[in-house]
Amino acid sequence: MIRKEVIVDTNALLIPGEFGVDIFEELERLGYVHIIVPRMVLTELDMLRDRPGLKGKEKIAATVGYSLIRKYTDASEQERMSTGCTISIEEGEKGEEDTDEMIVELARKRKAAVLTNDEELRTKLSQAGIVTVYLRGRNRLEESE
């Protein structure tokens, strides 16, 4: 059986806090069983969460996204298995500084899809022939190729 993998971008981790969509449940519905969070994405989310002046819904969304990833990566094996998906945090290549480029390269190497709502990144991924998963209708995730 093919193990479908998906890499998440920073803005994808804001979806639960902004729209109340359970991205893990939605990814499982689409057949993804392994979620990859690049360490650079987690760092970006942490910086966003702690950014001075960030208030209200955006701050809550950043905090929720960061907390969810920490919850599932710190969970016991039994708790992780109950989600239906596994989650791992992975390092990018040494010297990579652009998160979008790192995500494109990681997706190519792993033959993984990418969950993002970033239009610029979605265009790059499409040009590279990489499947994207995105928020559709503010209430579900959908795939495009």
pLDDT band of residue 1 (cuts 50, 70, 90) is very low
The per-residue pLDDT for 105 is 93
Strands 113-115 and 132-136: parallel
pLDDT band of residue 75 (cuts 50, 70, 90) is low
| Mean pLDDT computed over 131-140 | 95
What is the residue whose two structure tokens read 């990489």?
Answer: 130
The per-residue pLDDT for 35 is 92
Is 114:141 a contact under the CB 8 Å cutoff? no
Is 13:45 a contact under the CB 8 Å cutoff? yes
Question: Tens digit of pLDDT for each residue in 113-123?
Answer: 999 999 999 99
Structure tokens given for 30: 């689409």
pLDDT band of residue 51 (cuts 50, 70, 90) is confident
Phi first, then psi, for residue 94 (nearest 5°) are -60, 140
Check pLDDT > 50 for residue 81: no
Structure tokens given for 89: 């945090």
Check pLDDT > 50 for residue 143: yes
Strands 34-38 and 86-90: parallel
The per-residue pLDDT for 107 is 96
* Number of domains the chain contains: 1
Is 27:87 a contact under the CB 8 Å cutoff? no
Average pLDDT along the chain: 86
**What is the residue range of 50's domain?**
4-144
pLDDT band of residue 57 (cuts 50, 70, 90) is confident
Q: What is the CATH number of the domain that holds 20?
A: 3.40.50.1010
Selection from 113, 129, 96, 94 nearest residue 9 by Cα: 113
